[in-house]
Amino acid sequence: MHNNTLAFSTMQTRHRCGAITKVSSVEDLRGALDLAHDPIIVGGGSNILFVKDSHRDLIVMSILGRNILDSRDATVDIQVSAGETWDDIVAWCVDNDWGGIENLSLIPGLCGAAPMQNIGAYGVELKDVLLWVEVLDRSSDSLLKIDASDCDLGYRHSIFKGAWRDQYVITSIAFRLTKRGFHNLNTSYGAINDLLPQNGIANPDIGDIRDAVISIRQSKLPDPSHLPNCGSFFKNPILSKEQFAVLQTQFSDTPHYVVDIDNVKIPAAWLIDQCGWKGRRIGKVGVHDQQALVLVNYGSQNGMDILRLAEQIKTSVKNKYAIQLQEEVNIYP
């Protein structure tokens, strides 16, 4: 094995792998899957951590394309290929005055990963706009369209990470957006509400929301091209109201957000910070000093260094709060 994973994860760890094949069409993908040994499908690499050498082949998703499926008075349906850069698509939609995904600005990665993770930020998730996902069925070699309602979309979760993991390869996605005059702006996230008045904006449009989100993200999150990272490493834990009530008896200052009538979400960054991890460095890896959810790589080429740090963080949070953190990042092989 002479290939390595360095170029395929924004965490910049270097581990040996098998063949690397770039695919720019569905036919390319079919051919690559026929020849590949236990392949890993990779895109922008912003949510992957490689932790050891492997004989597994990498298939690099590079299928491009975007088109309008249907346009009505209030809405527009668009389809984008899996290899398109997510933020390029957000910018394209905002430029065309199509609203619905502006809160998801500057999320790294490609469009094919968006439904897999059900990406979300600042009060919006992909499931709010997703219509369907086109996939290549690896067992039958056929293209299928799977309705969004069948994708089991939840918090940083979909059926593609669960029961259908490795069964399908996402080739394109479709979503429905709103036109000018029908936009339903989501400014519920506090930082957006704070920033807009600071910028003198009383009646924001979707471009203003995008600009605000980009500003907030850039102020809080390190650019992986300058400091390797995979964004949020852990999910925010969700507790039942009964579990949260028990937690509050010991930690009355615990911040939380109501998910639904039965559950609340606890900020994982707060838990990690309270355990003293924010800004800590162990060898060549550490926790970012501005955002405790982000693990950063200061020069290690071994993904196990990151994984060991993550395990230490999980143990300390479990010991103090009796909460088990879960990784948001996909760990291979």
Give the residue numbers marked as catalytic: 156, 232, 328
Packing angle, helices 206-220 and 190-198, rounded to 10? 110
Question: CA-to-CA distance for 250 and 147, rounded, in angstroms?
Answer: 44
Sign of the C-alpha dihedral computed for residues 142, 147, 151 and 154 taken in this order? positive
β-pair type (238-240, 263-265): antiparallel
In contact, 175 and 130? CB cutoff 8 Å: yes
Assign 41 to helix, strand or coil: strand
Residue 69 DSSP SS3: strand
- Contact call for residues 7 and 228 (beta carbons, < 8 A): no
| Contact by Cβ (8 Å): 89, 27 | no
25-57 in b/e form (b: 16+ CB < 10 A) is ebebbbebbeebeebbbbbbbbbbbbbeebebb
Identify the helix (H) or strand (E) that includes residue 269: helix 268-274
Q: What is the largest CA-CA distance in the chain?
A: 58
